[in-house]
Amino acid sequence: MIRQRYEAMKKVGETYSLIRELSSTDGSDVGEPVLDRVMYGAEALPPLGKEYWWLLFFARDGEKPMQLMLTIFRKHGRKMLFNDKEMMLGEVKENMFQAVTAGWIYDGETLHDLGDTNATTEVRSEEKTVFSDISGRKMILGGTFPNYRLQVHGAIDLHIGDMNGIADKTAQGVFIPPFGVGWVDIFLDARGTVLEKTFRGTAHLQKVIGITPFGPFHWGRIVFENGFSTEFFGIKTGKESRRHFRTSLTFRDFRNDKVVTFDNPIMQIQKKEEGGRWIVQARDNDKEARIVLVSYSEKRYAIKGGGSQIYIEYAVIPEEFHLKVDGRVIDMNDVGKGVGTFEDAYGSPV
């Protein structure tokens, strides 16, 4: 018994060490060994611990472009409610555990719910592969930077790689003991089939490890046709709050390998009911940004257990984009049409 407790504490210590390492990594300087360690690791989760894979894809074509999202989510504890369904959480054996899989596909006209599944998930680190299922369909994510493949039997088959000049990887984190969150992001192109339709677009693969209570926040990512993207994040003080703290905004120029970073900017995010618009404004010394997003589809997820959280995912297109940096203004004429996802999350930590 003492030996088992020692081993359990040791594994939790390794989770904290990993979060500490990610929080001290300078963005894109993350090496492939660390990237693979995070993507293909199953962490020991202490109280308030959470771990999830988040896989997001945007097509390039169409008035309302196709996009899809898949997640594998688990947290500390024996069970939780996910969309009012009881989900069991437990370790089957080393690197095999019970988790929640969920996802959706917007095909350009209709949102298809892939369902919520209490899935047995296996992580094979040596093979660089994650095996799971969603609503009875086998789900497999495998590969290493910059080449991956995602398959959901009968629904999704995507080859992910550096096919159109987009290839980037970053690691980030925040560590304030005993709390912390660390994550890696992978940005690449994707081609293949989704619901028997041809898909050509971009991929965002993310893996997150956190030891933190639930809380309200906004997050968004937009990909533009001319090789640019922008991503922003802000923690809210409450469900209806417009002002944010612990904020960030990044603008990427993949063609010229340049990144503009707003460091904890003053940020406001406001919802306009007319037309389903979200207005994002940020300012950081001499840098300013204004983004107006129009939503065309949405999906809601609810989690209860060790706190509660509501996630509302919006499929969006940018109606306005304005970035002022180094005395230059970049707007929609420069970046081209775009597509993205905006996330509104809120809940209670207890």
Same domain, 192 and 222: no
pLDDT for 246: 83
pLDDT-derived band at 5 (thresholds 50, 70, 90) equals confident
Q: What pLDDT, on a 0 to 100 scale, did the predictor assign at position 6?
A: 63
Q: Could you report the per-residue pLDDT of 287-318, keeping only the tens digit for each? A: 999 999 999 999 999 999 988 999 999 999 99
Of 212, 227, 259, the residue at which a domain comes to its end is 212
pLDDT at 274 over 90: no
Residues constituting the chain: 350
Q: What domain range includes position 59?
A: 1-212
Is the previous residue joined to 178 through a cis bond, with omega within 30 degrees of 0?
yes
Domain count, the chain: 2
Are residues 242 and 328 both part of a single domain?
Answer: yes
- Considering the domain architecture, whether residues 250 and 141 belong to the same structural domain is answered as no
From the list 227, 235, 143, 145, the residue with the least C-alpha distance to 185 is: 145
Determine the pLDDT at residue 350. 58
Query: Is 326 a residue whose pLDDT tops 70?
Result: yes
Which pLDDT value is given to residue 238?
Answer: 80
Residues 159 and 263 in one domain: no
**Residues 207 and 221 placed together within one structural domain of the fold:** no
The reported pLDDT for the residue numbered 257 is 84
Whether residue 207 sits in one domain with residue 229: no
Which of 173, 190, 212 is the C-terminal boundary of a domain?
A: 212
Is 228 in the same domain as 197?
Answer: no
256 and 344 assigned to the same domain: yes
CATH assignment at residue 116: 2.40.370
pLDDT in tens, 108-153: 999 999 999 999 999 999 999 999 999 999 999 999 999 999 999 9
Residues 32 and 167 in one domain: yes
- Whether 342 and 271 map to the same domain: the answer is yes
Pairwise pLDDT comparison (285 vs 122), residue with the higher score: 122
Q: Please state which of the ranges 62-76, 216-230, 264-278, 321-335 shows the lowest mean pLDDT.
A: 264-278
Reported as a single tens digit per residue, the pLDDT across 8-63 is 788 999 999 999 999 998 677 789 999 999 999 999 999 999 999 999 999 998 89
pLDDT in tens, 191-233: 999 999 999 999 999 999 999 999 899 999 999 999 999 999 9
Share of the chain above pLDDT 70, in %: 98
What pLDDT score does 98 carry? 98
Residues 29, 60 share a domain = yes
Is 23 in the same domain as 114? yes
End residue of a domain, out of 153, 188, 212: 212
pLDDT beyond 70 at 1: no
